[in-house]
Structure 1
Amino acid sequence: MADRGFDLEGRLAALEEHDLKRALSPVDRVAERGYFAEPSGGDLPVLDSAEALVFASNNYLGLTDDQRVQDAARQAAATVGTGAGASRLVTGDTLVHRDLERQLAETKGTERALAFSSGYAANVGTIAALEPDVVFSDELNHASIIDGCRLADAETVVYDHCDAADLRAKLEERVERATREGREPADESWLIVTDSVFSMDGTVAPLSAICDAAEEYGAWVMVDEAHATGLYADGGGVVQAEGLEDRVQIQLGTLSKALASQGGYVAGSSALIECLLNDARSFVFSTGLAPPAAAAASEALHVARHGDARERLWENVAHLRDGLESMGFEVWGDSQILPVVVGDRRDAIALADGVRERDVVAPAIRPPTVPEGTSRIRVVPMATHDRDDIIACLEAFQAAGEEVGLL
């Protein structure tokens, strides 16, 4: 009988051959430093003896081990429970969820907000629920946006990365196409979707120019603030930093990065939120966010808004960028994400290995995650790194770069 299964061994061998195979390397704690284990497959991991500095995490404000955030999670677990127990529409809606959503709406300058089980679920569920006829999407948007467009069965028009002029040209082309076909473009629903901060390039979308184009052509704008929430004005994102709350109809983000928890959110009008809690399948058919996660995110957002963690992060970003560039490394981006672009994937792997040998964790990012010829080390400081940590990271890159022949 023919084997109609799957050649898993062959797939893994192909990944190995092309230096694309990934493996899990557990760490003992999520913080600015920790003990890592070697990849162990299905066996129990064994931690290394040397503690390493972490410069690869999305825990931007370093709040995962903040006592206030941990206490909020413990209190929610003791008072409300460890899990929601059901969909929010059944019995999984709690006062902890409502407190988080109230604070998110206040921070994002919207009427309401809605918490999802993940940022991925927020993107996929929102786009699919809106059912746009056409989505105009930045070419480097997150996979969850791309998958949301597929699930919505929308015609997707991709515009050049962070290029508002190309977006405007694509919008005009759509109008001209409809005119040629004898259709009225006003009959279509158009959605422009972009990340605000792009996770692999560190670039920041030109949101004001995007809003200008959207308003000229009557489109709605949806901005994913996953890598910006908590880091900008009053604990908001780039939308808040640029004062665009009234021009962006849909704001999304995650609770799992700067807010040190798990989950995602959508913020917008009351009508938008009511539609999503009825029509977003990833919300309706998922158990509600665990109360401890909601409480942790709520407290982390409060800390981000009223503490000094944001200022400390940006100080570390400036110090690290200046140091890397002064060595001769090419550093992309305009945000807290500092991609050290190497080019060749093997050089990037060698640089990452050299840095790791010096007890600094900053893995190589290579195709297919990024385009061929742009392999890089994605370097990200945290607010909780001190000056000595930043110096140690720079010294590791200096030594490893010279060893690999990149400097």
Structure 2
Amino acid sequence: MSYMSPSLEKFLDEGLEDLKSKGLYSTIDVLDGANGPLIEINGEEKINLASNNYLGFATHPELIKAANEATEKYGVGAGAVRTINGTLSIHRELEEKLAKFKGTEAAIAFQSGFNCNMGAISAVMNKDDAILSDSLNHASIIDGCRLSRAKIIRVNHSDMKDLEEKAKEAVESGLYKKVMYITDGVFSMDGDVAKMTEIMEIAEKYNLIVYVDDAHGSGVLGGGAGTVKEFGLSHKVDFQMGTLSKALGVVGGYVAGSQKLIDWLKSQARPFLFSTSLTPGASAAVIKAIDLMETDSSYVDRLWENANYFKEELQKIGYDIGHSETPITPVILGDEKVAQEFSRKLIENGVYVKPIVFPTVPLGTGRVRNMPTAAHTKEMLDKAIKVYEKVGKEMNII
């Protein structure tokens, strides 16, 4: 038995019991194979509607080949942080590819999307500044803002009137050297899209720095290039942050912007400075993913075809799927315990989706979240719809 100090043991025992009593204790399912449109858990096959693998790239043979070839050439790891001698030519190629993909002068690659937000925000904003932050921003944005020590001003979700009022107040107060507005491009729980045109009008009026976290927009909107490209604003947004682990199917994150911004982040962003580089294999796989998107629109087209079909079918049988504008498809149930029981029954019947409850979403808006992908077949989606109909009727939801 491992040694544990009495104070730590007491803290853990009480904390774990509290989580379990509130239904907030996380259980982790282990997949027996790859995370594709079908997954296997404990020897049972399920239709997978829980992953962020939008384009099916996580298991794409060309990405696997690219990763293997780069691993053979460069090794399994980069061997050092980027600023010592952990920058390999494959990293430079990746960053040039990302900049071209996002329509910016330059880009910087991080080890994860979470690291991007932790490093990039605090590298530019400090205690003399203010950050206007959308109330539904991702946890990594919230933590990145806190780390910066800037004054955080909460803005009502996608409320342009509230944004303008708070931007005006912050700028005209004279209390801050810089003011930033930060928002998700696509909000992961409801699937709605930031109002980029209005945001930029307000930003230009009040000289705001604009930071867009496009984790769920890259590979989905703008022909794959993301939310900012969708609105034709690649030349105006200061920070385009994204992940390499969702639609691109691998792991890592990036910030795209001006050459000056990227030069600054490469000298000041702490996760970049003090963590070993992305693996060569991951870098090569991302390059291949971008190549595939740029040369073959069918991946993004199929994602949207599947998503639109799945949404229509869920609505036909009576489910509330909210107001999603993207493939993210919530089934909103309200009661948290109902959401948990609903998820359990779906999984038992062969459809893998997880419950999302407070505090991830507001109290009383418990749901399951579906992520149809380009890799799902119509047969898989039809089978999932039948399960949804069966379980919904059994639980008197529809």
Normalised TM-score (structure 1): 0.93
8 Å CA contact 1:190, 1:219 repeated in 2: yes
For residues 212 and 191 of structure 1, the distance between their equivalents in structure 2, rounded to whole angstroms, comes to 14
Tell me the amino acid that sits aligned with residue 245 of structure 2. S
* C-alpha contact 2:223 2:300 (8 A) present in aligned 1: no
| 1:233 to partner: Cα distance | 2.6
Q: In the aligned structure 2, how far is the partner of 1:119 from the partner of 1:88?
A: 17
Partner of 1:288: 277
Q: Give 1:188 deviation, angstroms.
A: 1.6
5+ residue gaps in structure 2?
A: none
Q: What does the per-residue CA deviation read over 1:115-145, in whole Å, with 9 as the maximum and x for residues that have no partner?
A: 0010011111000000250001000111111
Q: Distance in 2 between matches of 1:102 and 1:232?
A: 21
Q: Which amino acid aligns with 1:79?
A: K
Deviation per residue, 1:163-220 (Å, 9 max, x gap): 12211111122245x1xxxxx46x6201110000111111111011111100000011
SS of 2:182 mapped into structure 1: strand
Partner of 1:141: 137
- Matching residue of 1:246: 235
Shift of 1:353: 1.3
- The answer on 1:223 being equivalent to 2:218 is no
- Following the alignment from structure 1 to structure 2, what is the Cα–Cα distance between the partners of residues 365 and 82? 36
Structure 1 counterpart of 2:353, from 354, 362, 371: 362
Q: State whether residues 171 and 179 of structure 2, in contact with CA within 8 Å, keep that contact through their aligned partners in structure 1.
A: no
2:370 aligned with 1:376, yes or no? no
> Once the 2 structures are TM-superposed, how far is the Cα of residue 110 of structure 1 from its aligned partner?
0.4
Cα offset for 1:3? 4.5
Q: In the TM superposition, what is the alpha-carbon distance from 1:14 to its structure 2 partner?
A: 1.3
For 1:395-406, list aligned pairs within 5 A: 395-406=386-397
In the alignment, which residue of structure 1 is the partner of 2:316?
Answer: 326
* C-alpha distance in structure 1 between counterparts of 2:66 and 2:6, whole Å: 53
Opposite residue 264 of structure 1, the aligned amino acid is G
Do the aligned partners of 1:107 and 1:234 also contact (CA within 8 Å) in 2? no
Aligned to 2:35: 30
Where in structure 2 are the equivalents of 1:76-225 lying within 5 Å? 76-132=70-126, 133-176=129-172, 178=173, 184=174, 188-225=177-214
Paired amino acid for 1:25: D
**Residue from 285, 307, 317 that aligns with 2:307:** 317
Specify the alignment match of 1:20 in structure 2: 24
Of the candidates 249, 252, 273, which is equivalent to residue 263 of structure 1? 252
Report the AA paired with residue 12 of structure 1. Answer: L
Whether the aligned pair in 1 keeps the contact of 2:135 and 2:156 (CA below 8 Å) is: yes
Structure 1 equivalent of residue 45 of structure 2: 51
For residues 292 and 9 of structure 1, the distance between their equivalents in structure 2, rounded to whole angstroms, comes to 41
SS at match of 1:21: coil
Contact 1:119–1:253 under 8 Å retained in 2:
yes
SS at match of 1:53: strand
Q: How many angstroms does 1:72 deviate by?
A: 0.5
Displacement after TM superposition at 1:70 (Å)? 0.5
- TM-score, with normalisation over the residues of structure 2? 0.95
The secondary structure found in structure 1 opposite 2:240 is: strand
- How far apart, in 2, do the equivalents of 1:63 and 1:118 lie? 17
Contact residue 350 and residue 404 of structure 1 kept, 8 A:
no
Deviations 1:72-92 (A, max 9, x none): 000110011111111011111
SS at match of 1:51: strand
Match of 1:9 in 2: 13
Q: Which moved more, 1:187-196 or 1:134-143?
A: 187-196
1:276 equivalent among 247, 257, 265: 265
- CA distance in structure 2 between the aligned counterparts of 1:73 and 1:67, rounded to whole angstroms: 10
CA–CA separation in structure 2 for the residues paired with 1:73 and 1:153: 39
| Structure 2 residue corresponding to 1:64, chosen from 58, 63, 87 | 58
Give distance in 1, aligned partners of 2:68 and 2:167: 49
The alpha-carbon deviation at position 271 of structure 1 amounts to: 0.4
